[in-house]
Amino acid sequence: MSRGRLLTAAVLATLAGGGAAAQTTPADPFAPGAAAAQNAAPDSAKPTAAPAAKPVHRKPRAAAGLAVVVNNKRSVGLVELHVGAAGDPSPPKVAGPLAFGRKTVVHLKPAKDCLYDVRGHFADDADTEQLGVELCKDKVINLTDE
C-alpha cells in the first residue's frame, strides 16, 4: 500500500472510531436549554432534595348550586339582594351593591322544588319581595321599577 492510501485509511479509521468527537466546536451558550445543560452538576454533586410537600386535601364541594343572573333594570342601584329557599326566615345575602343597568351572576344553594324567596333593598330605600319564585327554569331575576 502506498503512503497516501495508508494515511487515508488511518484518517477514515479515526473518524469511524469517534476521533472526530474531540474536534467538535463547543455548544452555543445562547441556544435554548444550554444554560440548564451547563449548570447541570453530576448526581453526586447535587444537594439532596427537600422532602416532598404533603398533598393538600380539599373538602369535597357540596351539591352543585344554581347559577342565576340578576339584572338590575331599576333606575337606582341595588344595595343588597337576599335569596333563599322559599319560607326561609333569613335568606343569605347573595348580591349587592349592584348599579342600575348592571347584571351579575349569583350562585344559590339547591332548594326543595326549586322555589326561592327574593328580597332586595335599593338606594332609594325601596324594597322588593318576590316569594316562591321558581328559578330553575328561567334562571334570571329581573329587578324592575314596576
Q: What is the pLDDT of residues 55-72, one digit of tens each?
A: 766 654 545 688 999 999
Percentage, residues of the chain above pLDDT 90? 42
3-state SS, residue 57 = coil
The answer to whether 103 touches 70, Cβ cutoff 8 Å, is yes
From CA 15, how far away is CA 35, in angstroms rounded?
30
Q: Which triple of cell numbers denotes residue 89?
A: 326566615
Range of the domain at 131: 66-143
Residue 10 has pLDDT above 70, yes or no: no
- The pLDDT assigned to 18 comes to 52
Dist. CA 9–CA 125, nearest whole Å: 102
Identify whether 138 is part of a domain: yes
Instruction: Over range 125-141, report the average pLDDT.
Output: 91
Is 103 part of any domain?
A: yes
Confidence at residue 116, expressed as pLDDT on a 0 to 100 scale? 92
Burial of 143 (0-12, 13-18, 19+ CB in 10 A): buried
Q: What is the CATH number of the domain that holds 116?
A: 2.60.40.2890
User: Residue written as cell 327574593?
Assistant: 118
Compare 27 and 96 and report the one with higher pLDDT.
96
In a domain, 59, yes or no: no
Residue 13 has pLDDT above 80, yes or no: no
Q: Which whole number is the average pLDDT over 102-130?
A: 91
Is residue 89, in this structure, part of any structural domain at all? yes
3-state secondary structure of 118: strand
Whole-prediction pTM value? 0.55
- Domain membership flag for residue 129: yes
Domains in the chain, number: 1
Total length of the chain = 146
Query: What mean pLDDT is reported for the chain?
Result: 76
pLDDT at 76 over 70: yes
The grid coordinates listed for 63 are 351539591
